[in-house]
Structure 1
Amino acid sequence: MSWTSMRARDTAAKLLGGESQRWAHVQRTAQLTRSRSGGSQGGNALEIAAWLHDIGYSSALLDTGMHAIDGARYLKRLYAPPVVVSLVAFHTGAEYEAEERGVLAELSEFDRPPQPILDQLILADLLSGPDGKAMAIHTRIDDMLMRYSPKHPVHRAVTRSRGYLEASAMRADARSRQPM
């Protein structure tokens, strides 16, 4: 069975639908990629990855404890397109979190996706708050830092990756404003 946006949505709903806030975040992230990518490089793969980017939070997929890796491993087992798997594995500064958690070797199982497509996923993820409401990029990053204690690997990773995340989001935003 091939991967479509509908299949990705259904997979995410099955795994995350019981978590209303996370599900709302995922829905908004996918909607933003659809509306902002408008036929750009990786458009369909990008929307599929947006639907699936947080499935690793599902307790059914818990393996390493890092949602990006756990979700990507699951998708690889289901033969999702390699670019979708890599987008899920590397979304929103995952390499920083993998380093903080000591799981860089596990992240290296996956190829790094093309940066322009990854930038688009990062932008959509940062514009969608944890409850699916619109957020400014800096507000979303500040929110992530407030939700985790300074000793938590996510807090440390977001602190270290802030410049990268902001630059990625700005590149994607600039590209989406360019005439086709």
Structure 2
Amino acid sequence: MDSALVQRARQVAESRLAPLTTRLAHVRGVATAAQGLVIRVDPTEAEALVAAAWLHDVGYAPSVRSSGFHPVDGAGFVQAEGFPAVVVSLVAYHTGAVFEARERGLSEALGEFAQPPQLLLDLLTCADMQTGPDGSPIRPQDRVSEILSRYGEGDPVHRAITSSAPSLLAAVARAEALAG
């Protein structure tokens, strides 16, 4: 998919995440995975999904980071950059962000963004959960384990992934069922 929206999202992600080479490799892998999931989605929604896949972790970029909660930081940045509302909402709510926002006491900040369509959120979550930190494919259960291994038990990310894992894996199952 090579629309103007996707090209712009890719350029922004590659520019902002350039100092974070591993994170950028992951983002590239998620964008590739998302492209493989869009075959049964309306073309406009497919374009937004792939753009969001490119931008989902832009909140980790040192030039974007403000609160330290990458979905909210990224969504605020993407919104300020003029990306469509659905892309903003997907960045804000991707991959169990609601659980981590709760752990960090940032549910109100996340709630400032509209919730995305569930189907698109499931597809983005699926792409993210099937992509390892280096951008290579990974089984979703192994992705959960990999994330947990990077964060201690007291960390909000560890607690959020522990509590969100069943819903993340359910989103993957729904997306895979759609893709047939």
TM-score normalised by structure 1 residue count: 0.95
CA RMSD of aligned residues (A): 1.2
Count of residues in Structure 1 that have an aligned counterpart in Structure 2: 176
Give the partner amino acid of 2:51. I
1:63 corresponds, among 61, 66, 70, to 66
Q: Which runs of 5+ in 1 are unaligned?
A: none
1:98-177 to structure 2, matched below 5 A, reads 98-177=101-180
Q: Per-residue displacement from partner, 1:1-47 (whole Å, max 9, x unpaired)?
A: x9611100000000112222111110110011112212514210000
Deviant stretches of 4+, over 6 Å: none
Cα distance in 2, alignment partners of residues 35 and 159 from structure 1: 27
Cα distance in 2, alignment partners of residues 36 and 172 from structure 1: 8
Q: Per-residue displacement from partner, 1:99-123 (whole Å, max 9, x unpaired)?
A: 0000111001101101111000000
Aligned-partner SS, 2:95:
coil
Q: Percent identity?
A: 42
Q: 1:38: which partner in 2? A: 39
Give the partner amino acid of 2:24. W
Cα distance in 2, alignment partners of residues 82 and 68 from structure 1: 14
Give the partner amino acid of 2:79. K
Kept after mapping to 2: 8 A contact 1:56/1:68: yes
Q: 1:8: which partner in 2? A: 9
Cα distance in 1, alignment partners of residues 65 and 171 from structure 2: 28
Cα distance in 2, alignment partners of residues 13 and 147 from structure 1: 24
Kept after mapping to 2: 8 A contact 1:3/1:81: no
